[in-house]
Amino acid sequence: MKFGELLYKYRLRKKLTLRGFARELNVSPVYIMDIEKGRRGAPRREIIDKMVAILELKEEQEIRQFYDKAAETKKEDFVPGDVKIMFKEIENAALLMRTIKKKNLTKKNVEELIKDIEKGKYGSGE
C-alpha cells in the first residue's frame, strides 16, 4: 500500500470528508486528493504530524507505517523525521545500523531482532 492509499484508508476510517480534512490541515482539497491518488508525494513533516493528530493514529505500528510510507514518496535519501530525531537522541543508533550492515544481516534477521526487542529481551527501554 502506498502513502496516498494509506492516507485515504485512515481518512475514511475517521469518517472525514476530503474537504473537512483539508480544512483542518489548512490546505486545499485538491492537494489532499492528489496525494491520495498518488499524483503528489507526501507533504512536509509538519503537515504529516498534523495528519497523524487529526486521524488520531495511536498504534505505534500505524504511526510508523504512515511515516515510512510518506518517506517512500520522497527522494531516495529521505529519512522519516521521527527516525532522524531518534538518531540524534539515541546514543549508538548509527553504530547499530552500521553493525547490521557490516554483519550483512538479512531482512529476516532484522525482523527477529525487532521482535526480540519488542518482547523486552534487551531491557525495558528506560
Residue 125 — very low, low, confident or very high, per pLDDT cuts 50/70/90?
low
Note the pLDDT tens digit of each residue in 53-91: 999 999 988 998 999 899 888 765 667 777 878 888 888
CA dist 10 and 26 (Å) reads 18
What was the pLDDT predicted at 126? 54
Around Cβ 124, how many Cβ atoms within 10 Å?
Answer: 5
Q: Are 34 and 3 in contact (CB under 8 A)?
A: no
CA dist 13 and 2 (Å) reads 17
Name the grid cell of 40. Answer: 503528489
What was the pLDDT predicted at 82? 75
CA dist 69 and 6 (Å) reads 8
Note the pLDDT tens digit of each residue in 3-48: 999 999 999 999 999 999 999 999 999 999 999 999 999 998 899 9
Q: What is the CA radius of gyration of the chain?
A: 17
